[in-house]
Amino acid sequence: MVETAPEPPAPAVEPAEALLQQTAPAEAPVMMTPAAQPMEPALPPLARVAAQYGNLPMPFKRYQIAPVWRAEKPGKGRFREFFQCDVDIVGTASLLADAECVAVDNDVLSTLGVRNFEIHINSRKILAGLLETVVFERHDESIGPHVLRTIDKLPAMGEATVRELLASENELGQDVIDRIFDLIGLQGTTDELLAAAERCVGSSNVGAVGVAELREVIGHAGALGVPADRLRVDLSIARGLDYYTGIVFETFLGDLPGFGSVMSGGRYDRLISTFLGRDMPAVGISVGIDRLFSGMSELGLIETVKTPTRVLVAPMGADVLAPALRAASQLRAAGIPTEVYLEEAKLGKQLRYADQRGIEAAVIIGTEEAAAAEATVKLMQRGEQLRVPLAELPCKVLSLLG
């Protein structure tokens, strides 16, 4: 059972400074209000909820579906306003929570009928360990987040451009850049990549912790039913926002290369301190619903129907309206999408209405049917019809519709 948060819900917008505490102004996807005051769509909604309500049972789990906004150029699968589903677990540092988010990712896409997808997983601690080993010897540690944000641009900009940015904007030497790409460009099995990551982070404690945590989450995810061939260690995954502190993951549709991630998330153990004043461990995953459905539509995975209605109740006059409405109520209670023809009309007009909308069956109730406590069920595509007792109507219709 997923616990629900008390009202009021998390706000749709936050002051821009709430986000800018966690990332660089140039990188923040802020929107501008009409008054030219920068406002940003809410940080992970659970962050504010957890801070507002100190008596939540911990660990606390919550999901939310709500509109969000991003100040990015609209394009294929990219929108400035879209619906997003967030799933978060707060109040525990257990890596089982990270694995559960990965399992949610796998289960959601599998349930929706997506078969060819990969969950790319990494730990920012591994990247931090590499920077500690090869960058901080020559640069101040404050450069770390800037380097990670640059690495995050790799899928969109390509290796050549990212190398240029690391040199020009981050002022890294070519030998350091080569070391970074030696790590993030690694290919191989999970065990091979984790072993290589251990070598790359050298004596860095944070890097070693990152490798160990990544290995543990992968093991838990497998036990939760995530197939090994869907979970790929990708040491280039960094996530652009600085509030991520550990495990991070992004999910890609295998049949749409270049489409970008459709589900992503990670651990953000320090974000809630923005509102709470103290750190609280948390992890979450988000799916851009419009973006995912855009990709699924392109892949032909979304069935287009004229209407979700499966049954039309056709009352043949005002004197039989009461039993017709009762029949509709029974069908709806049985989980059958049902509508009632709203105007008094001849049967032919009502049946044409059902046919034009692709409704599978019509339940006809006239004076003869009402007197016998029955209904005539007509299957629109096959043209078959039969009389059914009203008491048996939901079960019979379910069996006929299949």
Model pLDDT for residues 140-150, shown as the tens digit of each residue: 667 788 888 89
For domain 13-298, the CATH superfamily is Bira Bifunctional Protein; Domain 2 (3.30.930.10)
Rounded Cα–Cα distance for residues 261 and 84 (Å): 13
Q: Rounded to the nearest 10 degrees, what angle do helices 174-184 and 159-168 cross at?
A: 140
Neighbouring CB atoms inside 10 A of 97's CB total 23
Fold adopted by 311-401 = Rossmann fold (3.40.50)
| Mean pLDDT on 154-169 | 90
Q: Is the pLDDT confidence value at 351 over 90?
A: yes
Q: What is the pLDDT of residue 279?
A: 79
Q: Is the pLDDT confidence value at 35 over 70?
A: no
Nearest-10 Cα torsion for 58, 62, 67, 72 = 60
CB-based burial of residue 381 (10 Å sphere; 0-12 exposed, 13-18 middle, 19+ buried)? exposed
Higher pLDDT, 71 or 271: 271
Q: Is the pLDDT confidence value at 267 over 80?
A: yes
Domain spans in the chain, listed from the N-terminal domain onward: 13-298, 311-401
| Mean pLDDT on 108-117 | 96
Instruction: Name the band, by pLDDT with cuts 50, 70 and 90, for residue 275.
Output: confident
The predicted model scores a pTM of 0.77
